[in-house]
Structure 1
Amino acid sequence: MFRLLRTSIVYRSAFIVLGIALLVGSFFALFSYQFSAQSEQEQANQRMKGSLSTVESTASIACFLLDQNLASELARGLLKNGDISRVLIFSDDKILAEASRQPAQNQANASLTILPDIKTPNQLEQEIFSPFNAKEKVCNIRLDPNMDFIREQSSSKARFIVYLLLVQALVMASAVVYVVLTMITRPIKNISDRLHTLSPESGDKLSLPDGNEKDEIGQLVRDVNMLIANLLKTLNEERSLRIRHSIGEKKFQTIFENAETGIFQLNFSAELLSYNPAFLRMFNLTDAHQRGNLSHVLTLMLEGQELRLHLMIDAAINESKVMSDDFYIQLGSSSQKKWINLVISPAEDGILQGLANDITERKLKEENANQLAVTDHLTGVNNRLGFEKEIARLSTEHANAHAQGFFLLMIDLDKFKQVNDTHGHTIGDQVLCHFAHIVTSTVRKSDFVARLGGDEFIILLQNLTQQSKAEEIAQKIIHQTSQDIVITDGVSVQIGASIGISYTGPHAFDPNDLLRRADTAMYDVKRSGRNAYRVVSLDGIDTTRHII
């Protein structure tokens, strides 16, 4: 029974409707019972009053004449009313007549008995006046109600009403249950049974129940059929997508295995999860590597650059964007150097997708182009742009206290204009190349040489703090420059070099001020005889040396 109530809406709805009907019917039956009993008692009281009014004139005569026989006959007549259990007629506390449904004690001496206090809340007592004088009281009549009779009468009527209400409630509940079962529950159950055997993938649909085409059940069936149609459409679309996905997956697998671009997956710790053959070829990983654990190979290849890789990964995960950067790697024992461009993008569940492209050729072209941009095409040393970049780099290093002092040599060739005027610009260009060779062969490999334009050159003696070493280099350059330069058989020229030298320590400096001091020192040399150098030191002492 309980299983049916849990699993069947039919039994459950019937049980609930009947239970509510019985509960409501019982409440109203109890209320009707109380009301009927009270009403019956009130009617009994009215009947007693009516009986008393009927015999009032006879009682008046009996009491006026003190006729006990007439009074007794009157009392017995009142007892014929079933609502009365006892009648008492008395005058001046003397009982004229008494009658009850039970034998009264001491009835023989009733006339002499003092009237006891037998009043009850339901007793009815009335004064009787003389038939000749309406103001002269001659006796009293007291009626006691027959409570057993009254209760029996009220109970029987109340029970009849209760039974009637309960039968009515059951009939109404049964009607409601029947309507619910036939018009709601049974159609829903039929729909449910049909759904159990329905095959949506074959396009089956529910049929509309007869009589429910336009009501809520009909709407329910139409909604279910619409859901079935949408489901069938979704299934077909999913089947089509699955087929296309399978085809696309095969294509991507082919691309993955045969692409020249390295494709890989990694987690947030930069550990490799998967990779394609191009990735292995790009990093020169052999079969032996493939059989081993390659999870940390990427960080090993980028040794010294791991921080940049982890910053890319953090940015890709936290900012959900594609990150790209170039890395310089050195492969294996062959000391092969490569430039690799890594592109990392977030996928899902903390996994990242990556692409690796070999950009070595592009980087070499960029380096060559950059080198051409900062190289003097005639002499092969750096040009003005190269010098500006270098002096800016040194300024930044010194500002961050990451460098040592250095000397700046500003050089201007003496008599070079005469060479151009006498022998032409072709010979002049050969002289410039000769001087550039003298400078580059004299300074250290770590030093910087640039031609600013015309016959002006500049040298940066980096990480040098000894003035004597700077002067020694200047002397060598002046000495070698002053030697005759043989151009062709029978043609030789002679030039000189005026050098201005300024120094800055490891602290921050102003490049313009450094150049201005060296330039001023160089022009001072020219005005004082040329073919010499002058040093502007940190302590403000200027030293000029002429080379003979």
Structure 2
Amino acid sequence: MRELIRTSIVFRSASAVLGMVFLVGSIFSVFTYFYLVNTEQKHSISNIKELLNSVENTAAVACYLSDRNLSNDVANDLQKNTNIKEVRIFNKSTLLSEVKKSLPKTTQNLGNTSGKESDYIQKDIYSPFNKTEQVCHIRIRVNQEAINDQSTTNAGIISLLLFLQTILMASAVAYIVLSLITRPIKTISDSLHNLRPEKGELLPQAEKNKYDELGQLTSDVNRLITNLVATLDEERELRIQHALGEKKFQTIFDNAETGIFQMNKDAILTSCNPALLQMLGVEKNSFDIALIEIMKGQELRLHLMIDNAVNEMRVVSEDFYVETDSQKQKKWIHLVIHATENGELQGLMNDITERKLREESANQLAITDHLTGAYNRLGFEREMSRRSKAHANGIGSPFFLMLIDLDKFKQINDQLGHQAGDEVLMQFSKILHKTLRKSDFIARLGGDEFVVLLHDLQQQTIAEEIAKKIIAQVSTPFLLSNNSSASIGTSIGISFIHATSFITAEVLAQADIAMYEVKKSGRNDYRVASATYS
């Protein structure tokens, strides 16, 4: 029963209608029953009183004359009413007439009892000639059992008829609901249950419901099915096109020379093509490739790049210097990434090693003296600019600057020619490279003027020792390619720069002053600037 109520709208609707009607009908039937019982009882008492009023004149004559026969006739007429059990007529204190209804033994025994006061109806009878003179008193005992039986019987019949009428109307309503609403809905439901909309099947349209709400429901469902079939066909076509597009993309993805990849915010690759694996020298079966580990020393730049791509939703690109694991090969890569809607990152990777090497070579040529192999004036200016920024930021280290000028170099050019002068410059450059540390900086500013930066050095005595070594080695004549020799000297001016900010021009000016003091005093010597830059 519970399963039937849960699954059947027909049974549920019929049960609901009949149950509600039965409940309402029962309540109204019970109410009607008690109302009719009370009404019938009141009506019976009223009839008795009217009967008593109808014999009042006759009773007045009988009592006035004290005529027992006439009084008995009045009492017998009253007693004929089935609802009257006993009639007594009193002439003052004398019982003029008394009539009792013959009752069954059990009822008679009950009748001998005194009864309740409500079971009696009394009326005073006045003289027919004087309406103020009481001549007798009539006392009637009501047959309450008969009244109750009659009223309950009549009320029960009417209540039963009312209840049956309610049941019949409820059944009619339920039948109408079932035949006109519920059963057509169930028919539609059963048809839907067995319908295969993906094959274009439609609901059958009932002719009698063609223009009503159920017909509209059927039409709407069929329209939805038609739209669904069209959508499925379109989706199937799109799926085929998508599969073809994926196949083309996969071909491009697998065969592209550019590295293509996907990664998460932690720079862990989740997908990549063979070109990227080959570019990074990673095994094909490797998983969870971390760009952070590949780009050691550049992690902060990569994280900033990822944050910019995610937070600003734009394409960002950077160049990175990496070392592959396969052959410890160092190379430059150009990385381009952008964030997707799901929080992942997509990107491209290109090997730009050759381009970077060409750029570095070009930059190196731009800052290198082609004759001596030392840095040129541009290289010196870039180095001093770098050191100046480091000192200004508080991360620089103290160093000595040595400004060197070759003595008698002009005479060699004039007497032996420029080729001999070039050989002298190259040999002097070799002396500097052999004498100084690899961390020190050597540059040719032009002509026979050189500058040396003694990196991270604070002891002046060490700087002076280096100057003495340079002077001593230059004092030995240079052997030239034409079997001749050239003798030169060196004048060196030295400035000291503390770990504070400085101005390159002022440092050079101090070293230049010290160097010219050497030249004035006889050349081939060194001198430390009296006021070093601090």
Name the SS for the 2:87 alignment partner.
strand
Residue matched to 1:469: 462
Name the SS for the 2:125 alignment partner.
strand
CA-CA distance at 1:148 after TM superposition = 2.3
Compared CA separation, residues 67 and 523, structure 1 to 2 (3 A): farther
CA-CA distance at 1:228 after TM superposition = 0.8
Distance 2:59 2:378 in 1: 150
CA-CA distance at 1:316 after TM superposition = 9.0
Unaligned runs of 5+ in 2: 106-112
Compared CA separation, residues 93 and 443, structure 1 to 2 (3 A): farther
Compared CA separation, residues 365 and 219, structure 1 to 2 (3 A): farther
CA-CA distance at 1:416 after TM superposition = 8.4
CA contact (8 A) 2:123 2:138 kept: yes
**Which shifted more, 4-13 or 402-411?**
402-411
Q: Give the alignment of 1:426-437 within 5 angstroms.
A: none
Cα displacement string for residues 310-333 of structure 1 (whole angstroms, at most 9, x for unaligned residues) = 847974997577665544333457
Residue matched to 2:498: 504
Query: Which letter maps to 1:163?
Result: L
Determine which of 283, 287, 292 is the counterpart of 1:295. Answer: 287
**Which shifted more, 403-412 or 478-487?**
478-487
Name the SS for the 1:260 alignment partner.
coil
Compared CA separation, residues 34 and 297, structure 1 to 2 (3 A): closer
Compared CA separation, residues 413 and 166, structure 1 to 2 (3 A): farther
Compared CA separation, residues 519 and 26, structure 1 to 2 (3 A): same
Name the SS for the 1:97 alignment partner.
strand
CA contact (8 A) 1:299 1:306 kept: no
Q: Is residue 2:296 matched to residue 1:304?
A: yes
Compared CA separation, residues 334 and 4, structure 1 to 2 (3 A): closer
CA-CA distance at 1:421 after TM superposition = 11
Name the SS for the 1:21 alignment partner.
helix
Distance 1:100 1:417 in 2: 177
Residue matched to 2:199: 202
Residue matched to 2:243: 246
- TM-score, normalised on structure 1? 0.77
Distance 1:389 1:91 in 2: 154
Query: Which letter maps to 1:304?
Result: K
Name the SS for the 1:245 alignment partner.
helix
CA-CA distance at 1:466 after TM superposition = 2.1
Residue matched to 1:526: 516
Query: Which letter maps to 2:41?
Result: Q
Distance 1:46 1:158 in 2: 18
CA contact (8 A) 1:122 1:144 kept: yes
CA contact (8 A) 2:86 2:101 kept: yes
- TM-score, normalised on structure 2? 0.79
Cα displacement string for residues 353-392 of structure 1 (whole angstroms, at most 9, x for unaligned residues) = 5644322112223323443454456765445554454345
Cα displacement string for residues 44-86 of structure 1 (whole angstroms, at most 9, x for unaligned residues) = 2221221121122222233334444433332221122233333
Q: Give the alignment of 1:105-254 within 5 angstroms.
A: 118-121=115-118, 123-254=120-251
Q: Is residue 2:250 matched to residue 1:259?
A: no
Residue matched to 1:112: none
CA contact (8 A) 1:312 1:344 kept: no
CA-CA distance at 1:501 after TM superposition = 0.9
Cα displacement string for residues 19-59 of structure 1 (whole angstroms, at most 9, x for unaligned residues) = 11211211221222122222212222221221121122222
Residue matched to 1:111: none
Distance 1:412 1:145 in 2: 158
CA contact (8 A) 2:72 2:97 kept: yes
Query: Which letter maps to 1:511?
Result: F
CA contact (8 A) 1:327 1:341 kept: yes
Compared CA separation, residues 310 and 481, structure 1 to 2 (3 A): closer
Compared CA separation, residues 375 and 213, structure 1 to 2 (3 A): farther
Residue matched to 1:64: 64
Compared CA separation, residues 525 and 451, structure 1 to 2 (3 A): closer
CA-CA distance at 1:397 after TM superposition = 5.0
Cα displacement string for residues 268-299 of structure 1 (whole angstroms, at most 9, x for unaligned residues) = 776666554334433445xxx55xx6236656
Residue matched to 2:29: 29
Residue matched to 2:84: 84
Compared CA separation, residues 382 and 163, structure 1 to 2 (3 A): farther
Query: Which letter maps to 2:15?
Result: F
CA-CA distance at 1:210 after TM superposition = 1.5
CA-CA distance at 1:232 after TM superposition = 0.8
Distance 1:159 1:385 in 2: 126
CA-CA distance at 1:7 after TM superposition = 2.6
Query: Which letter maps to 1:144?
Result: R
Compared CA separation, residues 24 and 157, structure 1 to 2 (3 A): same
* Count of aligned pairs between the two proteins: 521
Compared CA separation, residues 213 and 386, structure 1 to 2 (3 A): farther
Name the SS for the 2:257 alignment partner.
coil
Q: Give the alignment of 1:435-450 within 5 angstroms.
A: 439-450=432-443
Alignment RMSD, CA only? Answer: 4.5
Compared CA separation, residues 310 and 326, structure 1 to 2 (3 A): closer
Q: Is residue 2:278 matched to residue 1:281?
A: yes
Distance 2:308 2:233 in 1: 37
CA contact (8 A) 2:84 2:142 kept: yes
Residue matched to 2:110: none
Query: Which letter maps to 2:501?
Result: D
Query: Which letter maps to 2:359?
Result: E
CA contact (8 A) 1:328 1:340 kept: yes
Compared CA separation, residues 126 and 211, structure 1 to 2 (3 A): same
Residue matched to 2:50: 50
Q: Percent identity?
A: 47
Compared CA separation, residues 87 and 246, structure 1 to 2 (3 A): same
Name the SS for the 2:461 alignment partner.
helix
Distance 2:139 2:232 in 1: 95
Query: Which letter maps to 1:251?
Result: K
CA contact (8 A) 1:410 1:459 kept: yes
Q: Is residue 2:7 matched to residue 1:7?
A: yes
**Which shifted more, 350-359 or 249-258?**
350-359
Compared CA separation, residues 515 and 310, structure 1 to 2 (3 A): closer
Distance 1:461 1:141 in 2: 154
